[in-house]
Amino acid sequence: ELKVEQNPLFLSMQEGKNYTIYCNYSTTSDRLYWYRQDPGKSLESLFVLLSNGAVKQEGRLMASLDTKARLSTLHITAAVHDLSATYFCAVGETSGSRLTFGEGTQLTVNP
């Protein structure tokens, strides 16, 4: 059974600081997704990582994938309050398969 673990689960940051969220998964997969969710809202796709060594950046967020280590990271640079949300990583074992989500990281960026 595929397991996906995120850490930390709660993250309180000061504006302007950097931090990294980690996502480990238990079985072979080359499909790793990062989503953002605001309270009571839907899942907003941030990044889709499909191969070992993939790195994608959008604004203050950068995601990477190491399939050998079964690890993905979401790096936050110079955090701003608008980044406050819950971030989920999710793994799909094959094309068209279900997604298995991590527990989510609740990020709060304080002024």
Partner 1 sequence: AAGVIQSPRHLIKEKRETATLKCYPIPRHDTVYWYQQGPGQDPQFLISFYEKMQSDKGSIPDRFSAQQFSDYHSELNMSSLELGDSALYFCASSFLAGYEQYFGPGTRLTVT
Report the interface residues with partner 1, using CB under 8 A: 31, 33, 35, 40-43, 45, 48, 50, 88, 92, 95-104
Closer residue to partner 1 in complex, CB, 42/111: 42
Closer residue to partner 1 in complex, CB, 14/108: 108
d(CA 21, CA 3): 17
CA distances from 36 to 1, 41, 78, 92, 96 (A): 25, 10, 18, 17, 21
Closer residue to partner 1 in complex, CB, 77/106: 106
Minimum CB distance to partner 1, residue 8 (Å): 15
Minimum CB distance to partner 1, residue 45 (Å): 7
Minimum CB distance to partner 1, residue 65 (Å): 13
Q: Which residues of 71-94 are buried (b: 16+ CB within 10 A; e: fewer)?
A: ebbbebeebeeebbbbbbbbbbbe
